[in-house]
Structure 1
Amino acid sequence: MAKYISIIIAGLTGDVVKSVNAFDRVLLLFTRNPEETDFTIYSRVHPPTTE
């Protein structure tokens, strides 16, 4: 529970990017497939930008 609170506080104090990334990882803990690697999870959350 403390993690959620710290994420919210981080968001309120302006550390939005870090709190969003942390929140993504919290959500992915519940939605991840066992065969998924960290890279595929990262790619799903942060789609590669085509320059």
Structure 2
Amino acid sequence: MENKYEDYKNEIKEGKRTLNQTRKELGLPPINGGNTEFINREIAFCRKIQERR
């Protein structure tokens, strides 16, 4: 059985939902062209967590 994130990914690929719609359901801010600073901080945070593992 696939997890819910795989289901979201597949629905986005099939065009059944948008990326921002999915991010809203997951409690994440929408992606827009001017919000790259937040996204870069989010990516850096994820990398730090992965390094600790």
Please report the TM-score for the alignment, with normalisation by the length of structure 1: 0.37
Greater RCO, CA 8 A, separation 6+:
1
Please report the TM-score for the alignment, with normalisation by the length of structure 2: 0.36
